[in-house]
Amino acid sequence: MIFWCKNCLNASTRPRITFDKRGYCNACQWAEEKKKINWKNRQEILKKLFKNNKKNKYDCIVPVSGGKDGSYVAYILKKKFGIRPLAVTVRPPLELDLGSKNLKNFINSGFDHIHISPNLKVMQELNKYGFKHKGFPYYGWLIAIHTSVLKLAVSLSINLIFYGEDGEVEYGGTDKTKNKPFYDPRYIKKIYLEGGYDLVKRKVNAKKSEKFFFEFPTDNELKKIRITHWSYFEKWDSYRNYVIAKEFCGLEENEKSNMGTFTNFAQNDQAFYALHTYMMYLKFGFGRATQDAGIEVRRGAMTRNQAINLVRLYDNYYPDEFIKMYLDYYKMTKNEFDKVLDKWVNKKLFQKIKNRWQPKFSVE
């Protein structure tokens, strides 16, 4: 029914995950591979890329939220490589005060920055449709963090975009991109948007002009633009990113641990992430604590047994604190909201007890 990585607790239900004969998932296999990669060679590729991509004002775009990863990438590009990044934030739905403060701190640490606020009504409609029909509570924002950044790159003639890590490779998914520095909108639509972009976009009742920031540029406009992940060029370490962002970019942690996990320094920008990870748990049997524990195990900071204890303690977390906020945003009743959750539950893994879904399994 479900089994877990023998090293890090990644679940067999995770989309696109694979395991070797030892029972190690591909994220753990990649963690081993990273120790053997000649990162100097990859950074030589990076230097050539910079040399061929010099612009009058900005050399690249780095999407940021004010969190640890985007802040780290922008800081390293600027300080280590002498590159002039333009930091770009796509305003999320249901912003949190800590996230807004961290973004302001990042900007104040010395970066040029543009805030993009796509049409809020279109965003809301896309998010609601995504919640109901894709099981993804901020699907519209997910679209915009790709499409609007590309739109800006085209309009400013900036031909290089650095996102943070390749989540598929780092955390367990398809590993087809592990040796490929660049990817394109086809990959974005298939993997990050789960093949639902065209369907969801058609469902929105809005003028074409109102959907501008939710549309991909044309193939012709994208010909010169290269999209990449910083994790291709440097061994990715999210805890190191946190330490650097805290020291040099003003990153502040939550006063207590984040919902559904034992950490307090990541994904503090918007309230929908808690719902996203809860739905992930209901669909696949793993939540935010499993993801965070896996990262700690793979970097050698936690044992598997410690991870099991934390996952059992935190993973099944219903985001009570934000429910009223979700209902107001989606314009739904609690009953309508719960019916959507029920629709996406994996009934092979969960059973309903006293109006809450409880696992039939025990992580081992």
Q: Is 51 exposed, middle or buried (0-12, 13-18, 19+ CB in 10 A)?
A: exposed
Q: Report, in angstroms and rounded to the nearest whole number, the Rg of the chain calculated over CA atoms.
A: 20
Phi, psi of 112 (to 5 degrees): -70, 140
Distance separating alpha carbons of residues 278 and 79, to the nearest angstrom? 38
Listed in sequence order, the residues at least 6 apart from 137 whose beta carbon sits closer than 8 Å to its beta carbon are 127, 130, 131, 272, 275, 276, 279, 326
CATH class of the 39-232 domain in this structure: alpha beta
pLDDT given for residue 56 in this prediction: 62
pLDDT of 55: 63
Distance of CA 87 to the CA centre of its chain: 17
Report DSSP state, residue 234: S
Give the per-residue SS3 of 274-297. Answer: HHHHHHHHHHHCCCHHHHHHHHHH
Tens of pLDDT along the chain (364 residues)? Answer: 799 999 999 999 999 999 999 999 999 999 999 999 999 999 988 888 887 776 668 999 999 999 999 999 999 999 999 999 999 999 999 999 999 999 999 999 999 999 999 999 999 999 999 999 999 999 999 999 999 999 999 999 999 999 999 999 999 998 889 999 999 999 999 999 988 898 888 888 888 889 999 999 999 999 999 999 999 999 999 999 999 999 999 999 988 888 889 887 888 899 999 999 999 999 999 999 999 999 999 999 999 999 999 999 999 999 999 999 999 999 999 999 999 999 999 999 999 998 899 999 999 8
With vertex at residue 173, the alpha carbon angle to CA 228 and CA 186, rounded to the nearest 5 degrees, is: 45
Q: Do 89 and 115 contact (CB within 8 A), yes or no?
A: yes
Q: Which residues have CB under 8 Å from 222's CB, separation 6+? A: 150, 154, 184, 185, 216
Strand pairing category for 226-229 and 113-116: unpaired
| CB-neighbour burial class of residue 95 (10 A; exposed 0-12, middle 13-18, buried 19+) | middle
Query: What's the DSSP call for residue 257?
Result: P
Q: Regarding beta strands 85-90 and 113-116, do their DSSP bridges make them parallel or antiparallel, or are they unpaired? A: parallel
- 3-state percent helix, strand, coil for the chain, nearest multiple of 5: 50, 10, 40
User: What local confidence, expressed as pLDDT, does residue 52 receive?
Assistant: 73
Name the segment(s) of the chain with CATH classification 3.40.50.620: 39-232
The stretches of the chain forming alpha helices (DSSP H) are 26-34, 39-51, 68-79, 97-108, 120-133, 139-156, 167-171, 185-187, 197-202, 238-248, 272-284, 288-298, 304-314, 323-330, 334-344
Sign of CA dihedral 127, 133, 137, 142: negative
Nearest of 228, 247, 195, 201 to residue 72 by alpha carbon = 247
Confidence (pTM): 0.94
